Amino acid sequence: MQEKYFSDKTARTFVVIMGVALIGFLLREMQYIFIPFTVAYFLFFLFAPLNGFLRKMKIPLAINVIIDLLIIAGVFFWVGRFLVDSIIQFSQSIDVYFTRLNGIVREISKAIGISDPYFKYFSLQRILAKMDYKELAGGIISQTVDFMGSVLFVLFFFVFIEGGHSSIINAIRKRYVVKKEQKENMENEPAAKLSQSNTHLQEKKQTIIEEAVGSTFKKITEQIQKYIITKIAMNLLAGALVTAICFIFKVDFPIIWGAFTFVLNFIPSIGSAIALIFPTLMALVQYEALGYGLLIAAIIALIQTLVFNILEPKIIGKRLNMNPIMILLSVLVWGFIWGIVGMFLAVPLTAIIKIILENSESKDSVFISDLMSQGQ
């Protein structure tokens, strides 16, 4: 009997592992569908408070969707305009920066004993003149078209999710497990009382299931909103500090570098590195002093380390009640599955999985959820 138990247990474990591997494979191979769908659902959760308020005001669903789309379009317009204005502002002084950068490269090559004519007479303008601008323009246009296509795909999913989310919840209600605590309350009731009315029991059980599902989706919505709000707050803090540092040291375009820090740090690790490079190069080119550039780099690196490596993990881990180790592992795993987008979505996706597991009646699921949680 014991051998049969272990055999069944091993078989179930093997099936679960293979199932998880298969799901990961499908998510990776069909990411062109799952990524827009997932991003659209995150948008739905982000707009949930606004949509809930509009529903209370008895605003029709179609108007709700239009309002959401107008807000999204407004954000894209503002970001696009900021980028265009920044590029125009930077391009007005680009020749001066190129000349200074040429001088820096020549001085560094001379200082370390490089006699190669390429570095001795280094000219960034000459390098750019040799570029195939037709191919470059084609690549930019292609990437822009792909990006716009992805955005439209996300909005397409978003519109249908707005209208079909309630149907998805109703479908899940039919298969969802009852919360462990609520089920125990049901089991602890006297048998005689339960036998009095089977209909009453079924109605009560259905009510409990609906409450469990509603509570789970409410938790998921709240966790995602908390994560996004915390992430935005941390990025704003880092962006404001970088802007202040650039103002203090009189680095050109301080607001641009602060905005870059805010936006790029939504991409874990890589974004921080890129956000560090731009203001450092600007300080180096502007003042033509390696020490000055390194000083700016050190200060910005310190800011990003304090905000994103110390402060943010503690706050996000506390709010989501997730183990910092699990946060790191989730970034690596989802990054492997969906690349940069997966790294960005890793924490909220893992939080959703954790919430679903902790609301399951399976002891194994609850155990996994406990492993993912941050100890008290």
pLDDT score, position 192: 44
pLDDT score, position 315: 78
| Per-residue pLDDT band at 94 (split at 50, 70, 90) | confident
Task: Give residue 12's region: left, alpha or beta (phi > 0; psi -120 to 50).
Answer: alpha
pLDDT score, position 320: 66
Cβ neighbours, 10 Å, residue 46: 18
What tens digit of pLDDT does each residue of 206-231 get?
A: 565 556 666 666 777 777 777 778 88
Using the predicted structure, report yes or no on whether residue 121 has a pLDDT greater than 90: no
pLDDT score, position 145: 82
- With a CB cutoff of 8 Å and minimum separation 6, the contacts of 373 are 321, 322, 323, 354, 358
Tokens of 220: 């998921």
What tens digit of pLDDT does each residue of 98-110 get?
A: 888 888 888 878 7
Cβ neighbours, 10 Å, residue 313: 16
The amino acid that residue 349 corresponds to is L
Question: Under a CB-based contact definition with an 8 Å cutoff, are residues 226 and 204 in contact?
Answer: no
| Per-residue pLDDT band at 67 (split at 50, 70, 90) | very high
Q: What are residue 373's phi and psi, to 5 degrees?
A: -85, 155
Please provide the size of the chain in residues: 376
Report the percent of the chain where pLDDT is more than 70.
81
The stretch 298-304 carries a mean pLDDT of: 93
Question: Under a CB-based contact definition with an 8 Å cutoff, are residues 67 and 54 in contact?
Answer: yes
Tokens of 238: 């880092």
What average pLDDT does the structure give for the chain? 79
What tens digit of pLDDT does each residue of 135-160 get?
A: 777 777 887 788 888 889 999 999 98
